[in-house]
Amino acid sequence: MSSSADSTPKALEGRPARKPAPAGGRDRAKSSRRRAREFALQGLYEWQINTREVSSIDAHIRELEEFAKCDRPHYDALLHGCVDQAAKLDADLVKFLDRPIEELSPVEHAVLWIGAYELANCLDVPYKVAINEAVELAKSFGGTDGHKYVNGVLDHLAPGLRPDEVNAARPSKR
């Protein structure tokens, strides 16, 4: 079995990767929730790649330097909730995938779990925010066009999980 340092991409190892500041402006500080999602992504990636217990992965992540800046309850909900509900989340997602779930990259799979989990369980997070945050994770850590795929899948999943909120946000047809 390899260690997490051997299997975790550089962008996911240690401190979460930061994008360069946008041209003409300064880089905004990451919110504690964004950091929680990034650490949960790291843990879910590692959980898929290694055969370690989630408690061991969780302990490793909590030791990382930047962990103190994240929303710990949200991180806990995402990491442990996605692991506990992985089969249910996959069952919800598979309806909107264009390939078998086993063919997803581990990063995109973890991002989809996080987005689906927030849509299903974190009602304090508006559905558009849940989708946007998953897209941002995919942009930062996933493949070249992975964010487009994540956006499409979660956009199709949202009406089934949050019908009232999605319907209220869409303009009425007259």
Report which residue type is found at 140: S
Residue 13: the pLDDT is 53
The reported pTM is: 0.82
Residue 6: the pLDDT is 45
Residue 3 within any structural domain of the chain: no
Per-residue pLDDT of the chain (174 residues; tens, 9 = 90+): 444 444 444 445 554 444 444 443 334 578 999 999 999 999 999 999 997 899 999 999 999 999 999 999 999 999 999 999 999 999 999 999 999 999 999 999 999 999 999 999 999 999 999 999 999 999 999 999 999 999 999 999 999 999 999 999 887 665
Domain residues for the domain of 79 are: 31-169
Three-state DSSP class for residue 150: helix
Residue 142 within any structural domain of the chain: yes
Residue 56 within any structural domain of the chain: yes
Backbone angles phi, psi at 107, to 5 degrees: -70, -50
Residue 5 within any structural domain of the chain: no
Indicate if the alpha-carbon torsion angle 143, 149, 153, 158 is positive or negative.
positive
Number of domains in the chain: 1
Residue 50 within any structural domain of the chain: yes
Residue 171: the pLDDT is 77
Residue 14 within any structural domain of the chain: no
**CATH code of 83's domain:** 1.10.940.10
Residue 69 within any structural domain of the chain: yes
Three-state DSSP class for residue 23: coil
Distance of CA 57 to the CA centre of its chain: 16
- Alpha-carbon span 111 to 45, nearest angstrom: 9
Residue 64: the pLDDT is 95
Report which residue type is found at 91: A
Name residue, tokens 């390939």. Answer: 99
Consecutive H or E run containing 86: helix 86-94
Residue 12 within any structural domain of the chain: no
